[in-house]
Amino acid sequence: MKTTRLLPVVVLLSAFTLLADDHKSNCSGLPSAGQLRTWLVAAASPANGGRVGGIFEGTRMWGAVVNRDGELCAANTSTSDPTQVWPGSQAIAKSKAYTANAFSLDTFALSTARLYTFTQPGHSLWSLGQSNVFDPKALAPPSGNDGGKNQITGGQIFFGGGVPIYSSSGKIIGGLGVSGDTSCADHEIAKRVRNLAALNPPGGMLADDIVYSPPDAPSVFAHPVCLETWRNGTRIGDEMPATYPRVE
Low-confidence ranges of the chain (pLDDT < 50): 1-4, 6-23
Domains by residue range for the chain, with CATH: 27-237 (3.30.450.150)
Task: Give a three-class secondary structure readout of the chain.
Answer: CHHHHHHHHHHHHHHHHHHHHHCCCCCCCCCCHHHHHHHHHHHCCHHHCCCCECCCCCCCCEEEEEECCCEEEEEEECCCCHHHCCCHHHHHHHHHHHHHHHCCECCECCCHHHHCHHHCCCCCCCCHHHCCCCCHHHCCCCCCCCCCCCCECCCCCCCCCEEEEECCCCCEEEEEEEECCCHHHHHHHHHHHHHHCCCCCCCCCCCCCCEECCCCCCCCCEECCCCCEEECCEEEECCCCCCCCCCC
- pLDDT tens per residue across span 110-155: 999 999 999 999 999 998 888 889 999 899 988 776 688 888 999 9
Does this model's pTM top 0.85? My answer is yes
